[in-house]
């Protein structure tokens, strides 16, 4: 099983929105970056776990945990001219973009903030800190464990 970090803007869709769905899954759509696409298409598997990271907001950081409940599948939004995620260069024969379904697992009692992550030497190699703009990224076992511990400590 693998660990991931998924960025999302809480003003659009955050941990509370995922929690509100309960056991229903949310399609993690709209990823339009090739590096993130390749990770989704080739690496993300059912039962993997993901840190939900809130970006572009007041309290930036990891807000909770979600679980992958599908394999990668073709994102239908890319064929819908009405969708903001429409891509005229993609076709059903040769789809460019993929998505997967995510289910709520838990919300941290407090955000594990970006400054907190930055100040922890054991987290210095997180992709989050190395590569600012990747919205789907791998998390190492020890990083996962430590962030969960930091979250636990707040409760």
Partner DNA sequence: GCCAACGTTGGC
- CB 11 → DNA: shortest distance, Å? 12
Residue choice 131, 142, 149, 152 for contact with DNA (CB under 7 A): 131
Which two three-digit tokens encode residue 69? 């409940």
Residue 101 CB neighbour total at 10 angstroms = 19
Question: Is residue 63 classed as helix, strand or coil in its secondary structure?
Answer: strand
Verify binding: residue 115, DNA, rule CB under 7 A: yes
To which residue do tokens 């509370």 refer? 16
CB closer to DNA out of 131 and 149: 131
Stretch that binds DNA, among 65-73, 97-105, 114-122, 144-152 (CB under 7 A): 114-122
2 to 41: interface string for DNA, x by CB under 7 A = -----x------------------------xxxx------
Site size for DNA (CB under 7 A)? 16
The piece of 18-26, 43-51, 92-100, 111-119 that touches DNA (CB under 7 A) is 111-119
Residue 133 DSSP class: T
Structural tokens at position 13: 């869709």
Q: Which residues partner with 137 through β-bridges?
A: 5
User: Restricting to residues 32-91, which ones interact with DNA according to CB under 7 A?
Assistant: 32-35, 55-56, 60
Q: In terms of C-beta density within 10 A (0-12 exposed, 13-18 middle, 19 or more buried), how is residue 106 classed?
A: middle
d(CA 79, CA 24): 24
Q: Least distance in Å: CB of 23 to DNA?
A: 27
SS3 (DSSP) at 31: coil
| Residues within the interface to DNA (CB under 7 A) | 7, 32-35, 55-56, 60, 114-115, 118, 131-135
């Amino acid at each position: 099983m693998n660990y991931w970090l998924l960025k999302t803007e809480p003003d659009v869709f955050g941990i509370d929105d995922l929690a509100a769905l309960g056991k229903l899954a949310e399609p993690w759509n709209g990823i339009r970056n090739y590096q993130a696409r390749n990770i989704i298409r080739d690496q993300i598997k059912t039962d993997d776990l993901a840190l939900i990271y809130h970006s572009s907001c007041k309290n930036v950081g990891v807000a909770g945990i979600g679980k992958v409940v599908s394999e990668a599948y073709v994102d239908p939004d890319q064929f819908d001219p009405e969708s903001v995620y429409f891509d005229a260069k993609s076709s059903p024969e040769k789809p460019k973009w993929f998505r997967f379904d995510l289910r709520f697992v838990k919300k941290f009692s407090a955000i594990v903030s970006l400054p907190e992550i930055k100040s922890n030497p054991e987290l210095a190699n997180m992709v989050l800190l190395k590569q600012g703009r990747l919205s789907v990224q791998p998390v190492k076992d020890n990083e996962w464990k430590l962030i969960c511990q930091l979250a636990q400590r707040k409760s």
